[in-house]
Structure 1
Amino acid sequence: MAQGSGKSVLFVCLGNICRSPIAEAVFRKLVTDAGTSKEWTIDSAATSTYEIGNPPDYRGQACMRKHDIPMSHTARQITRDDFLSYDYILCMDESNLRDLKRKGSQVQNSKAKIELLGSYDPQKKLIIEDPYYGRDEDFETVYQQCIRCCKSFLERT
């Protein structure tokens, strides 16, 4: 976890190899470009155990390289401590949201605000679809959604 002082956000999807590491990389670049990276703790995680220890999907990595956005991540599952330490847990779809709310309800003194990242989309596209079984273009769509949502989230926080 990249430690900052102040605000914190954890991006979450099912496996933590496609959508959430893209959102993490995009948000990290936005706060770095804004000169506010020291104010943030940023990471990403999975609701499942499927991909623990794996790097981001090669298609997502290629998409990030195309946009000159550094990406360095190893998939991990969300922990009990994440609900206690992060201000925001932003997820990609309704299934993630249900899983997170269920897990969060079991953590006493959870401080995390659990929301869909898409709730910040100025184009009102609420769900960020999983590109895993899709094509390269689907990763580009995820990237574009993450840019819009992360910019809006940063402006509001």
Structure 2
Amino acid sequence: MIRVLFVCLGNICRSPMAEAVMRDLVEKRGLTLQIKVDSAGTSNWHAGEPPHKGTREKLKEMSISTSGMVSRQLRTSDLEFEYIVCMDASNVENTRDMLRAYEDTKIFRFLDLTSHKKDVPDPWYTGNFQETYELCVEGCEVLLGRILEEHGLE
């Protein structure tokens, strides 16, 4: 089983959006037995809460489920994930500190996979859930391609 973890600050906007988008891509390709997707936050501010209303609305508009998703804080056992994908540079730094994995290359910034080379803007502050969704789709498609190639799937 290949495990992918998306990480942001509160785990209610960006990382659950990426989780839901990636789960949708994995399901559509029939890879649910090979790839597990989850998300977490570096803070515990929203632990146990569902994704932000804006995230849920955007994903519902795109027919992508958020069923069963609740926020949780990053924990040391998350270092077992093969891919730990952070939404911004601050999340990378905080994740490495929390997991004590300073040189671990499996912890990386999401958009470094794309030509954007920047952080995913937080719609908690920007209100732009469409932009976050578009970046998540692009990043998840690239990440899934990388996973398929690296693990000889499909």
**TM-score relative to the length of structure 1:** 0.87
Q: How many residue pairs get matched?
A: 146
State the shift of 1:124 in Å.
Answer: 1.9
Secondary structure of the 1:115 match is strand
- Equivalent runs, 1:85-124 vs 2, <5 Å: 85-105=80-100, 113-121=106-114, 123-124=115-116
Note if contact 2:75-2:99 (Cα within 8 Å) is conserved in structure 1: no
Rounded Cα–Cα distance in structure 1 between residues aligned with 2:86 and 2:101: 18
Alignment-derived partner of residue 43 in structure 1: 38
Alignment partners' CA distance in 2, 1:59 and 1:88: 26
SS in 1 for 2:4: strand
| CA distance in structure 2 between the partners assigned to 1:64 and 1:78 by the alignment | 23
How far does residue 78 in structure 1 lie from its aligned partner after superposition? Answer: 0.7
Offset of residue 60 of structure 1: 0.7
What is the CA–CA distance in structure 2 between the aligned matches of 1:88 and 1:64, rounded to whole Å?
23
* Cα distance, 1:145–1:51 mapped onto 2, change above 3 Å: same
Matched, 1:13 2:8: yes
Q: Normalising by the residue count of structure 2, what TM-score does the alignment of the two structures yield?
A: 0.89
- Change in Cα spacing, 1:111 to 1:148, as seen in structure 2 (3 Å) is same
Structure 1 residue corresponding to 2:134, chosen from 131, 144, 150: 144
Structure 1 letter corresponding to 2:111: G
**Equivalent pair of 2:87/2:120 in contact (CA under 8 Å):** yes
Inter-CA distance 81–106: structure 2 relative to 1 (3 Å threshold) = same
CA distance, structure 1, for counterparts of residue 72 and residue 16 of structure 2: 11
Q: Hey, what's the Cα distance between the residues in 2 that align with 1:18 and 1:33?
A: 23
Q: What's the counterpart of residue 75 of structure 1?
A: 71
Show CA shifts across 1:113-157 (max 9, x none): 101111112x4242101110222xx11100100000000011011
Aligned match for 1:156, one of 143, 146, 150:
146
Q: Once structures 1 and 2 are overlaid, which stretch shifts more, 97-106 or 52-61?
A: 97-106
Q: Following TM superposition, by how much is the alpha carbon of 1:106 offset from its aligned partner in structure 2, in angstroms?
A: 6.1
**Contact 1:86/1:111 (<8 A) preserved:** no
Partner of 1:65: 60
Q: Secondary structure at the match of 2:70?
A: coil
Q: Which residue of the partner structure matches residue 150 of structure 2? A: none
Determine helix, strand or coil for the equivalent of 2:123.
coil
Q: Could you tell me which amino acid in structure 2 is paired with residue 153 of structure 1?
A: L
Q: CA deviation at 1:111?
A: 7.4
